[in-house]
């Protein structure tokens, strides 16, 4: 514990943001990280609790009190070693993790939690700047081969762990660039893509082979799953992979967008968020797109109140939308959580993201009844939508009479979450699905990420359903250990 009285002396210090007018002009990150001195002061607030709830609140079980102490002592090099011992990619989580660790921090019982995420961010950014993050190729090769399908955080974490254990790992990715939703979901203003590129270089030096633009199996011909991001120019069958590799890990994410099948859904101008967001990330990366979906001068309505919706808000404002409004079906949560009731768990409270602060109307308890077409030459294009307010009675949603309203809308973005992985890919391997349509495989119930098909494992959103980057990293790491044990009879990879 750095400073015994630190938590009494120092306040929580938030990372800064560039001013809104400035950040709306660019696609760059706008968070101003803590300085070395600020990080030291923040880490001095850690009480090194006997039972560190933060450590179990963090899905990768980052050893938070230890790296806080090391930062306080000025030993940043040891701090990154501690951080990397549980988390392959702290630069991703240090930027986009919602930080359930902070909700679990003991200081959060009656004060503001330690700024754990900001300290993690500072440690990894310093480590890269100092040149401390280098390839760790294996000492010996195992002679075993592993195919990882999907290059999101689950696939990347698994691939890195397996390569370091000596296996020959090939990552198959249908998109033209590696990274999964880190690359094509999360906008650049939340996480610039150079962070992924330098990890890819590190992993290539450790022996991982990346094959982008390669589709494993096939997408369905229609429905939401047919519209997932896909730049594949080559296809490889499940049978081929099963024949060529000693083990296969399915980490293809949960890509099927939840649809809103109300009248007018087919109108031009109504899109899934994951049709809109990847296009902008591709443009930032230098691609030339024909007919990019843009929000310039438009009245934008984002349906869905979560993170994906919030990313649509930030992207629309950067395009120069005339107005942006976000709809949420559920009632507005309270501004403050009920700490005695919820600590150390993730609290139910109103969350206002940096994108909301950039300009956005927010409507709660509202349901969309229909998309309204224009007239004449606009008869196939959305010009508005019809809504009604709703209430929840006995767990059922009921419409509130007299609250019907029509809204102007030139662009509607559907950001209501994801229902399941693409079923046809799981079917190609003969992998059973659970009740929610995810790949059926357990974690700590003894089944160790194994599916019903011999030598086929599953991890990340493809197994657990839509989730978070930090959960995907956890599952990738744990699945890698299981694959390693399956191939070698035992594993020294961390759990
Ligand atoms: C817009 C958006 C914003 C988000 N923001 C955050 C955030 O701020 N913080 C956070 O923690 N989480 C966020 N999430 C959630 C987070 O990104 C995901 O939980 C996480 O990326 C899941 O990782 P994964 O590796 O399981 O899958 P994914 O990241 O989805 O990667 C799966 C990859 O597999 C590829 N693939 C699928 N099938 C095949 C196939 N048959 N052949 C070849 N390749 C295939 C896909 O193309 C994709 O690249 C966000 C999600 C979205 C959609
Ligand atoms: S990965 Fe997320 S939960 Fe874990 S320490 Fe970092 S910010 Fe907290």
In this structure, the answer to whether residues 305 and 327 fall within a common structural domain is yes
pLDDT tens per residue, range 269-284: 999 999 999 999 999 9
Q: Are 59 and 170 in the same domain? A: no
Which whole number is the average pLDDT over 302-331?
A: 97
Which of the four pLDDT bands, split at 50, 70 and 90, describes residue 342?
very high
Final residue in a domain of this structure, among 416, 440, 470: 416
Q: 390-422, pLDDT tens digit by residue?
A: 998 988 999 999 999 999 999 999 999 999 999
pTM for the full predicted model: 0.98
Is 187 part of a structural domain of the chain?
yes
Distance 180 CA to ligand 1 centre (A): 5
Laid out side by side, the sheet with 411-414 consists of 270-272, 411-414, 299-303, 323-328, 361-364
Of the residues 107, 130, 153, which one is the last residue of a structural domain?
130
Q: Is residue 136 part of a domain?
A: no
Reported as a pLDDT band with limits 50, 70 and 90, residue 3 is confident
For the domain that residue 45 is a member of, what is the CATH number? 1.10.1060.10
Answer whether residue 140 is part of any domain: no
Pocket test for ligand 2, best of 57, 60, 344 (most atoms within 8 A of CB): 60
Confidence band (pLDDT; 50, 70, 90) for 95?
Answer: very high
Average pLDDT, stretch 151-177? 98
Residues recorded for the chain: 495
Atom 3 of ligand 2 has which residue's CA nearest to it? 58
What atom of ligand 1 comes closest to residue 470's alpha carbon? 11
Mean pLDDT across 230-252: 97
Pocket around ligand 1: residues whose beta carbon is below 6 Å from it? Answer: 96-97, 149-155, 172-175, 180-182, 185-186, 190, 215-217, 229, 251-253, 277, 307-308, 311, 422, 425, 460-462, 467-470, 472
Which residues, judged by CB distance below 6 Å to any ligand atom, belong to the binding site of ligand 2? 58, 60, 62, 64, 87, 93, 97, 99-101, 116-117, 120, 470
Q: Which has more confidence, 1 or 298?
A: 298
Contact 391, 288 (CB under 8 A): no
Q: Are residues 40 and 58 in the same domain?
A: yes
Q: What's the 11 CA to ligand 1 centre distance in angstroms?
A: 35
Q: What is the mean pLDDT of residues 436-444?
A: 93
CA distances (Å), origin 206, targets 17, 138, 177, 203, 389: 36, 7, 19, 5, 55
How far is it, in rounded angstroms, from Cα 353 to Cα 128?
Answer: 27
In a domain, 139, yes or no: no
Do 268 and 251 fall within a single domain?
A: no
Residue 445's pLDDT band (cuts 50, 70, 90): low
Residue 170 lies in a domain: yes
- Distance between Cα 175 and ligand 1 center (Å): 12
Report the pLDDT averaged over residues 461-473.
98
Which atom of ligand 1 is nearest the CA belonging to 229?
47
Atom of ligand 2 nearest to the CA of 57: 3
Other residues' Cβ atoms within 10 Å of the Cβ of residue 228: 22
Domain co-membership, 118 together with 157:
no
> Domain check: are 164 and 215 in the same one?
yes
Per-residue model confidence (pLDDT) at position 2: 73
Domain that holds residue 334: 259-416
**Mean of the pLDDT values across residues 13-31?**
97
How close is the Cα of 349 to the center of ligand 1, in Å?
25
**Averaged pLDDT score across all residues of the chain:** 96
Least confident of 195-209, 418-432, 442-456: 442-456
CA 255 to chain centre: 12
CB 381, CB 267: distance < 8 Å: yes
How many domains is the chain built from? 3
Claim to verify: residue 61 and residue 157 sit in the same structural domain: no
CA of 50 to the centre of ligand 1 (A): 36
How many angstroms is it from 98 CA to the middle of ligand 2? Answer: 8
**Average pLDDT of the residues in 351-368:** 97
Confirm whether 86 is domain-assigned: yes
Q: Is the pLDDT of residue 193 over 90?
A: yes
CA–CA separation, 327 vs 393, rounded Å?
Answer: 20
Ligand 1 atom closest to residue 254's alpha carbon, by position in its atom list: 30
- Name the residue with the closest Cα to ligand 2, atom 4: 58
Choice from 186, 282, 470 to test ligand 1 binding pocket (greatest atom count within 8 A of CB):
186
Ligand nearest to the CA of 122: 2
Domain end point (choices 416, 446, 470)? 416
Q: Whose CA is nearest to atom 8 of ligand 1?
A: 96
Q: Is residue 1 situated within a structural domain?
A: no
Whether residues 150 and 119 share a domain: the answer is no
316 and 380 share one domain: yes
- pLDDT of res. 341: 92
Q: Are residues 11 and 98 in the same domain?
A: yes
The count of C-alpha atoms lying within 13 angstroms of the C-alpha of 392, restricted to the half-sphere facing its C-beta, is: 8
The DSSP call for residue 460 is T
- Both 309 and 370 in one domain: the answer is yes
CA of 480 from ligand 2 middle (Å) equals 20
Does the bond joining 344 to the residue before it have cis omega, within 30 degrees of 0? yes
Cα of 39 from ligand 1 centre, angstroms:
30
Query: Which of the listed residues 89, 180, 189, 458 should we mutate to test ligand 1's pocket, taking the one with most ligand atoms within 8 A of CB?
Result: 180
User: What CATH number is associated with residue 250?
Assistant: 3.50.50.60
Q: Give the number of the ligand closest to the Cα of residue 473.
A: 1
Is the pLDDT assigned to residue 75 strictly greater than 90?
A: yes
Query: Which residue puts its alpha carbon closest to atom 37 of ligand 1?
Result: 252
Question: Would residue 224 count as lying in a domain?
Answer: yes
CA of 459 from ligand 1 middle (Å) equals 12
In this prediction, residue 93 carries a pLDDT of 98
Nearest CA to ligand 1 atom 4: 186
Instruction: Report the pLDDT averaged over residues 429-434.
Output: 97
Kindly report the protein residue whose alpha carbon is nearest to atom 6 of ligand 2: 117
Residues 408 and 443 in one domain: no
């Amino acid at each position: 514990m750095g400073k015994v009285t630190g938590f009494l002396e120092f306040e929580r210090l938030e990372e800064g943001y560039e001013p809104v007018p400035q950040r709306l002009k660019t696609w760059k990150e706008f968070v101003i990280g803590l300085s070395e001195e600020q990080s030291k002061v923040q880490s001095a607030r850690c009480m090194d609790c006997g039972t560190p709830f933060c450590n179990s609140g963090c899905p990768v079980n980052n050893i938070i009190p230890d790296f806080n102490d090391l930062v306080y002592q000025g030993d940043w090099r040891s701090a990154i070693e501690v951080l990397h011992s549980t988390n392959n990619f702290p630069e991703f989580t240090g930027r986009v993790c919602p930080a359930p660790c902070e909700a679990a921090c003991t200081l959060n019982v009656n004060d503001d939690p330690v700024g754990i995420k900001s300290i993690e961010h500072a440690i990894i950014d310093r480590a890269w700047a100092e040149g401390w993050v280098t390839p760790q190729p294996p000492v010996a090769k195992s002679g075993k081969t592993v195919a990882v399908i999907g290059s999101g955080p689950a696939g990347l974490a698994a691939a890195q762990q397996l390569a370091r254990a000596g296996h020959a790992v090939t990552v198959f990715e249908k998109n033209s660039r590696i990274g999964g939703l880190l690359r094509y979901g999360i906008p650049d203003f939340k996480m610039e893509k150079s962070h992924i590129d330098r990890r890819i270089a590190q992993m290539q030096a450790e022996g991982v082979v990346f094959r982008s633009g390669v589709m494993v199996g096939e997408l369905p011909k229609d429905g939401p799953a047919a519209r997932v991001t896909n730049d594949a120019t080559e296809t490889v069958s499940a049978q081929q992979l099963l024949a060529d590799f000693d083990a296969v890990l399915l980490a293809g994410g949960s890509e099927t967008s939840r649809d809103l099948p109300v009248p007018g859904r087919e109108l031009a101008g109504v899109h899934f968020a994951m049709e809109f967001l990847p296009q902008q990330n591709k443009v930032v990366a230098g691609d030339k797109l024909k007919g990019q979906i843009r929000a310039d001068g438009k009245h934008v309505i984002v349906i869905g109140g979560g993170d994906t919706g919030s990313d649509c808000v930030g992207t629309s404002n950067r395009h120069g939308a005339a107005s942006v409004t976000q709809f949420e079906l559920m009632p507005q949560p309270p501004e403050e959580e009920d700490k005695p009731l919820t600590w150390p768990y993730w609290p139910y409270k109103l969350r206002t993201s940096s994108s909301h602060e950039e300009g956005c109307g927010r409507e709660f308890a509202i349901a969309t009844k229909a998309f309204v077409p224009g007239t004449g030459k606009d008869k196939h294009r959305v010009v508005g939508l019809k809504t009604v307010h709703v209430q929840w009675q006995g767990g059922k949603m009921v419409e509130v009479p007299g609250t019907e309203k029509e809204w102007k809308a030139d662009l509607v973005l559907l950001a209501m979450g994801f229902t399941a992985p693409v079923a046809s890919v799981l079917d190609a391997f003969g992998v059973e699905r659970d009740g929610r349509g995810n790949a059926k495989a357990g974690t700590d119930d003894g089944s160790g990420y194994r599916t019903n098909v011999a030598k086929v494992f599953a991890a990340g959103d493809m197994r657990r359903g839509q989730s978070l980057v930090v959960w995907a990293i956890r599952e990738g790491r744990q699945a890698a250990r299981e694959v390693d044990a399956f191939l070698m009879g035992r594993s020294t990879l961390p759990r």
